[in-house]
Amino acid sequence: QVQLVESGGGLVQPGGSLRLSCAASGTIFNRYGIAWYRQAPGKQRELVGSITSGGSTAYADSVKGRFTISRDNARNTVYLQMNSLKSEDTAIYYCNAIPFPKWAWGQGTQVTVSS
């Protein structure tokens, strides 16, 4: 059974940076494409960006140029580097498989961007 654990969130000022981690157990992570999703209060979960098993990335327009996804297959971990954070990036961030979220959701990690 695959378990996902997201970490690295916190409170940051606008313009600041955070790096989120998504660690998986129970599967060979590097076989799968992985996406980061986020859910803001009162909104539906949305796709932030993704990375294929081969390392190709894609991003939502709202984060393009500010967020970068990478992976360390040896550590079974995918990262989300977030720079130039804005208040509208405030949300709980989750990871899961692509092309569809086939695993049980982890607890997510809260990112709050506020002065």
Asked if 85 and 1 count as a contact pair (C-beta separation under 8 A), the reply is: no
Strands 57-59 and 46-51: antiparallel
Length of the chain measured in residues: 115
Q: How far out from the chain centre does Cα 94 lie? A: 5
pLDDT tens digit sequence for 80-103: 999 999 999 999 999 999 988 889
SS3 88: helix
pLDDT tens digit sequence for 26-65: 777 788 999 999 999 999 999 999 999 999 999 999 999 9
Q: Determine the Cα–Cα distance for residues 98 and 1; give it in Å rounded to an integer.
A: 17
